[in-house]
Structure 1
Amino acid sequence: MADMTDTQTSPFTWWQLFSYGFLTAPLAMGGFALVMYIPTFYAVDLGLGLGLVGAVFVAGRLFDVVTDPLIGHLSDETRSRLGARKPWMLLGVPGFGIAAWLLLAPPEGAGLLYLLMASGLYFLFYTVLDVPYSSTGLEISPHVHERSVLASSKAGFQVVGALFAATVPAVLMLSIGDTLPVIAQTIMIAATLGLILFMHSMPERNRIVTEPRASLVKAIKMVWQSRPYRTLISGFLIVQSANALTAGLMVLFITHRLSAPSLIGLLMGLLLLSSALFLPVWVWVSKRKSKQFAWSCSVVTCSVVLAAFAFVGEGNVIAAAILAAIIGACFGCDAVMPTSMLADIVYKGEEGGRKRLGGLSLAVKNSVSKLAFVVPMGLAFPVLDLVGFQEQGQNSMPQLMVLVFFFSGVPILLRLCALYVISRIPTSIPATPESPATIT
């Protein structure tokens, strides 16, 4: 049945790109607070302990691995006058706003049970909003290059949201406990505004779905049968694992290798800002050459910079700042190009009345990304603990070399493996198993 009412044939205006990406900002605010503020607040300020709080949030990530594909599949199967994604967004925005308030502004006396319930609601409604919303970027434009522009719009607002959450304590001179309610209120307002902008400005893609509904298991099999998709996700997993090690150990590297803990905020902010500023460069390269070429250039560049980082020592702040900015630029490409390439695969695969699989395809990619960021906890941290690395205190040169190995060496090896995998992503993506169609 036909379930979309407008066809986007001309490129999006700047206002439409703004309206599309804006909703990412409140999601990024919540994501940044979840990583940087909330664990310490519940563990220390509320006295729950690092072990319990850590276990709750690891369980939350595992919960996401289940709910992401489920919500993606359900949104794929949704048929309504508003299309497949907007009904979920209408449910997700108020749910996410309320859940963010409950998690970031707990009442006095909140304990473990409260954290379990509030975090569970947060993880659930984050997925209910994010997966259908992000899936629209895979479907709404028939223009190959514009899919990169749409992905870069989301990536840019992601940095805006993260920077806002990062700077609130310093700008308003608040404690973390007082900062979290401010972020929660901003999330609720920005998410509502973002939904209004999206609903008013973004068209629906007019298409007809002729294939019957399928179960989640069958749909996953259909998604995984695509060789371009399997190869793309494999490369993405490897790159994200490398990025997780570098990002996850950045604070330790700055503190113990550079001996400049006071510069953590500055260097991390520079990394985030650079990732947004260089997005137009990668989009331009992908248009002139190809998305595959742009991503490969990013992988190689980051590998060279990480090798240089291994020789940065105590007091080399300027060199570290330059290298951090370049790494941030590469992180931006790692976010945009795989998403844009996925959009090419999904768009072509849904032609001719074939089943909608964009939500599930993106959800599996999200699950892979979340699992990848467990790598520092599962690989680097146990080894650092084994060699006696001190998070607060002096470390010997061998201990620092272990840190450098996981911060630079292992990510370089992973990226070299990823470079090979990326080169294997087919540039010709079949519209059906019998009818190939080349994407240029």
Structure 2
Amino acid sequence: MSDQKAAPPGHLSLPGVLAFASVSIPIAALQLAISVHLPRYFASSIGLELAVVGAAFGLVRLIDIPIDAGIGVAMDRTRTAFGRYRVWMLLGAPVLMAGFYMLLAAPEGVGLGYLVGWLLVMYLGYSGVYLGHLAWGARLAPTYQQRSRIFGAITGLGVIGAMAVLLIPVVMGQQGYDEAQGVRAMIWFIIGATPVTVLIVLTSTRETIAKDHSASFRARDYLTLIARGNVLRLLAADFFVTLGPGWMAALYLFYFRDSRGFSIAEANVLLMIYIAAGFAGAPFTAWLANRISKHRALMFNTTLYSIGLMILPFLPAGNFMVFAPLMFVVGAMAAGFTVMIRALAGDIADELRLDSGREWMGLVYAVTNATTKLAQAGAVLFTFNFALTAVGYQAKMGAVNTPEAIRGLELAYIVGPIVFVMIAGGCFLGYRLSPERHAEIRHKLAERDAIAEGSVLEALAGDPEFPAVRSPS
């Protein structure tokens, strides 16, 4: 049952933060599985053409974008005794699990319709859990510093889920299981971890519902949201900062096997190092943000990430000990992207609430999730349907690629992400929502909420049905 009184800002305990962040374990596992393993699984093990896989993943994410916006609006308008955002997490979990199970059960040679249908179901459940968690997290930690802290914890704890997804096929491979069986085991891990962690969050965390001081949403309000400068910065940065790593993820196993000379098992271990670096990168970025500001921390991370990619092609092929440190640095910077985008989104939603008098948190996270999905769709669609096809690369098991095709794969893997990630950092040049400005916004919101609360008490004091209520004056 929801408690309408949350802990004061700055008094969120570490166990409370970790309990709340726990649902990021299956969410991060799902995100990595979808980005790296599932497209390859359907192309290599289920037998679908690359173009079909790219079209399915791209189409579903495009369909899901307006649905996410609707879910975000519905979240912000939800007011129940159970809470505003927690009810969406509770409803989303079983839908996510059902969709993933049906993808697990996909027979060999399954058609495009089956893949699109159950991917869409899975994404609907994912949106309920993911958007509810992000919006609730931003409301749970309203101050500039606490918001960096909680989203740092969410990203850091998500590393556990991502690491599990990477370790499962490695361990199963050592036991004699094939790659397809390893992917199926990943899916079972996500299906099992989702209800457990959602229940941990719901039973351990209190939720507060922010007060609305304005009328309900109108259609033109959505256009107003998209037209705001800070929202445009956020959406553009989120798109490009997702497209860069997503582009790399789609090509990762192909590149590290065929260009860098690593086995699939070795490539997965390097990817584990990249992901594990989030344990350092997420808290480091949160620490940095509270010293130089969030947008500058994001710009620092995007720059160092791009420099790391520029170095990657010059390392000796197949040399694990040389690749591992660079993968750690690049992975640490990538973890910071997520921390800062999520934290910045909460700050911008506060600015919107001050200006309009209504809650925007769910919708802001919905539209950023929409740009994330659009970028993820673009990553799979363009790499599978255009980049690899254009250079003549063959993805099927046992295929032999020409040196020209390998060279094209190398260029696609490196050049695109560098450009995209640097554009993302550049989106925040001239950004003015500083820590001082956000503190001023939070102060004004608290004053307005207090005035509204006092008005309600005064009205009740004059009502004979509430004799125990007295005016605060």
Q: TM-score, normalised by structure 1?
A: 0.86
Residue of structure 2 equivalent to 1:264 = 267
In structure 2, the CA distance between the partners of 1:352 and 1:228, relative to structure 1 (3 Å rule), is: closer
- Whether the 8 Å contact between 1:105 and 1:184 is mirrored in structure 2 is no
1:137 and 1:128 map into 2 onto residues whose CA distance is 14
Q: Which of 409-418 and 316-325 deviates more?
A: 409-418
- Letter aligned with residue 385 of structure 1: T
Residue of structure 1 equivalent to 2:469 = none
Taking the TM superposition and a 5 Å limit, the aligned residue runs for 1:369-388 are 369-380=372-383, 382-388=386-392
Residue of structure 2 equivalent to 1:252 = 254
Unaligned ranges ≥5, structure 1: none
- Letter aligned with residue 235 of structure 1: A
2:410 and 2:54 map into 1 onto residues whose CA distance is 25
Aligned equivalent of 2:290, options 284, 287, 303:
287
- Letter aligned with residue 365 of structure 1: T
Residue of structure 2 equivalent to 1:73 = 73
Query: How far off is 1:48 after superposition?
Result: 5.2
Residue of structure 1 equivalent to 2:468 = none
Kindly provide the CA deviation profile for residues 137-171 of structure 1, in whole angstroms up to 9, marking residues without a partner as x: 22111221111121122212322112212222332
Residue of structure 1 equivalent to 2:83 = 83
In structure 2, the CA distance between the partners of 1:4 and 1:285, relative to structure 1 (3 Å rule), is: same
Q: Which of 184-193 and 228-237 deviates more?
A: 184-193
- Letter aligned with residue 400 of structure 2: G
2:355 and 2:13 map into 1 onto residues whose CA distance is 28
Residue of structure 1 equivalent to 2:420 = 414
Query: How far off is 1:116 after superposition?
Result: 4.3
- Whether the 8 Å contact between 1:208 and 1:353 is mirrored in structure 2 is no
Residue of structure 1 equivalent to 2:331 = 328
Query: How far off is 1:377 after superposition?
Result: 4.4
**Structure possessing the higher radius of gyration over alpha carbons:** 2
Taking the TM superposition and a 5 Å limit, the aligned residue runs for 1:21-60 are 21-42=21-42, 45-47=45-47, 49-60=49-60
Residue of structure 2 equivalent to 1:94 = 94
Secondary structure of 1:137 counterpart? helix
In structure 2, the CA distance between the partners of 1:45 and 1:285, relative to structure 1 (3 Å rule), is: closer
- Letter aligned with residue 166 of structure 1: L
Q: Which of 344-353 and 264-273 deviates more?
A: 344-353
Secondary structure of 1:350 counterpart? helix
How many residues are paired up?
431
Residue of structure 1 equivalent to 2:7 = 8
- Whether the 8 Å contact between 1:8 and 1:205 is mirrored in structure 2 is no
Unaligned ranges ≥5, structure 2: 447-473
2:232 and 2:317 map into 1 onto residues whose CA distance is 42
In structure 2, the CA distance between the partners of 1:214 and 1:4, relative to structure 1 (3 Å rule), is: farther
Residue of structure 1 equivalent to 2:224 = 222
Q: Which of 225-234 and 46-55 deviates more?
A: 46-55
Query: How far off is 1:49 after superposition?
Result: 4.9
Kindly provide the CA deviation profile for residues 101-129 of structure 1, in whole angstroms up to 9, marking residues without a partner as x: 23224589976654444333212211122
Query: How far off is 1:17 after superposition?
Result: 1.1
- Whether the 8 Å contact between 1:271 and 1:324 is mirrored in structure 2 is yes
- Whether the 8 Å contact between 1:245 and 1:411 is mirrored in structure 2 is yes
Taking the TM superposition and a 5 Å limit, the aligned residue runs for 1:29-428 are 29-42=29-42, 45-47=45-47, 49-106=49-106, 114-172=114-172, 173=175, 174-175=177-178, 178-179=181-182, 182-215=185-218, 217-262=219-264, 263-351=266-354, 354-380=357-383, 382-389=386-393, 392-396=399-403, 400-428=406-434
In structure 2, the CA distance between the partners of 1:304 and 1:63, relative to structure 1 (3 Å rule), is: same
RMSD over aligned Cα atoms: 3.1
- Whether the 8 Å contact between 1:219 and 1:357 is mirrored in structure 2 is no
Query: How far off is 1:224 after superposition?
Result: 1.8
In structure 2, the CA distance between the partners of 1:108 and 1:21, relative to structure 1 (3 Å rule), is: same
2:111 and 2:327 map into 1 onto residues whose CA distance is 38
Q: TM-score, normalised by structure 2?
A: 0.81
1:120 and 1:419 map into 2 onto residues whose CA distance is 31
1:375 and 1:53 map into 2 onto residues whose CA distance is 13
1:284 and 1:260 map into 2 onto residues whose CA distance is 35
- Whether the 8 Å contact between 1:139 and 1:346 is mirrored in structure 2 is no
